[in-house]
Structure 1
Amino acid sequence: MIQSMTGFGKHVVQLPSKKITVELKSLNSKNLDINARMPQSYREKELELRKMIADTLIRGKVDFGLYVEITGEETTAEVNQGVVKKYMEQLSQIAQGDDLKLLELALRMPDTLKTDKDDIDAAEYEAIKAATNQALEEISAFRSEEGKVLEKDFVQRIKNLNILLEKIKGLDPERLGTIRERLDKAVADLKVEVDANRFEQELTYYLEKYDITEEKVRLANHLDYFETTLHSDDSNGKKLGFISQEIGREINTIGSKANYAPMQQLVVQMKDELEKIKEQMLNVL
């Protein structure tokens, strides 16, 4: 079953003095690209959290957000009183003002708050990991639902390509007959005598250059292989991309050999269907 690279997952954990929110958003990308936003005090755990995300999401441009809101009395920041007083003394020498105004100005200056860096509580970190796992489950479910929509579209596009291929097969004898008639007429218009046997040999050689039997067989095989891969257990976006390139190569060869307007019109329709597949393929995991 294929998965989309587009997804969203969110989970919130309420601790006695904190509310922790984990958010995951992903878009399509050739490789895995994780952008992590989290408080500085949690950066020591960033690599481990990144590995959890990489093991699950595999590929895509992923935005990971860890947000912590203090809901109780706990705080890690304190006013650096000595620094604030020193600022106030210096400000009072520069300009007159009441203590409240000077305090307001002083608190805007650097280093007026000090933060004690404590180790992350083990129970708190387990809650963060649990929230991250829950958010990963949600984003994976989202990706799977998006994948079902993509799969349905791919199945219809492949069906359309098979229908167009059958029409090309039906037109092929008529096409070769038309090319032969065109060549016969061109020679007749020259009003010169030609050796019938030699002419037939040259005509056969010429028509072989326009033969598309191999291309029809390979294209049918590629379409079957695409559909088989589409219904495999894993999401094989890159593999499906390679198969679609091979499909395009066969369609282009048929178009270059067609030399027959009705068949070339079918080839244009096939290219349109394949282009829509390639557009959607960019979002497949």
Structure 2
Amino acid sequence: MTGFGRGECKTEKFQFTVEVKSINHRYLDINVKMPRKIMLLEEWVRQQIKKYVQRGRVEVFIRMENIGISDAKLSVDTELAKGYYESLVLIKDTLNTRDDITTSVIGRFPDVIVSSENELDQEEILSVLESALVAALTELKKMRETEGLLLQKDTLERCDVLERDILSVEALAADVEAEYRNKIKQKLDEFLKVYGFESDPQRVLQEAALYADRSSITEEIVRFKTHISQLRDTVISNDGLGRKMDFLLQEMNREINTIGSKSSNIDVTSYVVDLKSQLEKVREQIQNIE
């Protein structure tokens, strides 16, 4: 499911801006981009996201700004500076050169002035970041829920179409079985005549009925109708929709394929095509649902 959320939080020392966006994905895939200085919090950020999102590709962008404080602090190695100075004096005296030893000259030597990052207050940073992240995720979730309601409505409407078509197939089921039985009976009669056997009407009817029973699509229709009911219940609920619906659609597709292979009735075949088309459309939609 797609969505976007943005959150900000500011204190006297820090300001965080968090942007979160999600696109369709079969599983949960989280990509976090954040400042290097707070990379230790990445796993914590991922755990917070999992509280709001269970499925989809989620991209998180975190921007941090220091307010009124410097990212770095400077320190002076006075002993090292003294050593450089004494070395320069020695060189001056030895070579009898002009005295141009200045503070700026010594300060440019390696490691005399050292820059290091200020230690950050992790607890304060975590508090500010959490406020911004929660605001962004709340907005994202709201947008995804809006889309989810539209997908729910569309799926329920398609369930109605599936039910209408399978009921039409059910109405044809008796005719399909009778038609198949008559075809078998006719084939058996023709076979017996070709080889000069006397036809036993009762036996022929028994054999035809046996084969016709194997071609019955009643069980598949009953199971398909049950799956439609389960699909509706799953769509209305809010518990692991995507995976449950994916399983149900696989089973429904299996039943439709069996019905299509058992029946040669042109009307049934037409409904089978329509049913498979609707199932595919639902399958495409559930890729967007958690």
TM-score by length of 2: 0.78
What CA distance in whole angstroms lies between the structure 2 residues aligned with 1:140 and 1:262?
45
AA aligned opposite 1:8: F
Identity of aligned residues (%): 31
Q: Aligned residue pairs: how many?
A: 251
Match of 2:56 in 1: 60
Q: What SS class does the counterpart of residue 51 from structure 2 fall into?
A: helix
Larger gyration radius, structure 1 or structure 2:
2
In the alignment, structure 1 residue 12 sits paired with structure 2 residue 13: no
Q: CA deviation at 1:18?
A: 4.6
Unaligned runs of 5+ in 2: 78-112
Q: CA deviation at 1:188?
A: 5.4
Q: Cα distance 1:147–1:235, how it changes in 2: closer, same or farther (>3 A)?
A: farther
Match of 1:209 in 2: 214
Match of 2:204 in 1: 199
Cα RMSD of the aligned pairs, angstroms, is: 2.5
Q: CA-to-partner distance for each residue in 1:7-57, whole Å, 9 max, x for gaps?
A: 211112233465421011122333322211111111122222221112221
Unaligned runs of 5+ in 1: 83-111
Q: What SS class does the counterpart of residue 21 from structure 1 fall into?
A: strand
AA aligned opposite 1:76: D
What CA distance in whole angstroms lies between the structure 2 residues aligned with 1:115 and 1:31?
41
Match of 1:167 in 2: 168
Match of 1:36 in 2: 32
Match of 2:90 in 1: none
Match of 1:103 in 2: none
Q: CA deviation at 1:181?
A: 3.5
Match of 1:262 in 2: 267
Q: CA-to-partner distance for each residue in 1:163-194, whole Å, 9 max, x for gaps?
A: 00110011112222332343444455568241
Q: What SS class does the counterpart of residue 57 from structure 1 fall into?
A: coil
What CA distance in whole angstroms lies between the structure 2 residues aligned with 1:134 and 1:201?
72
Q: Is the 8 A contact 2:173 2:218 kept in 1?
A: no
AA aligned opposite 1:171: L
Match of 1:225 in 2: 230
What CA distance in whole angstroms lies between the structure 2 residues aligned with 1:258 and 1:63?
49
Q: Is the 8 A contact 2:12 2:68 kept in 1?
A: no
| More contact order relative to length (CA 8 Å, sep ≥ 6) | 1
What CA distance in whole angstroms lies between the structure 2 residues aligned with 1:275 and 1:28?
17
Match of 2:95 in 1: none
Q: CA deviation at 1:119?
A: 1.8
Q: CA deviation at 1:75?
A: 2.9
Q: CA-to-partner distance for each residue in 1:93-141, whole Å, 9 max, x for gaps?
A: xxxxxxxxxxxxxxxxxxx994514223533431211111111111111
Q: Is the 8 A contact 1:41 1:117 kept in 2?
A: no
Q: Is the 8 A contact 1:34 1:62 kept in 2?
A: yes
What CA distance in whole angstroms lies between the structure 2 residues aligned with 1:54 and 1:6?
16
Match of 2:71 in 1: 76
Q: What SS class does the counterpart of residue 198 from structure 1 fall into?
A: helix
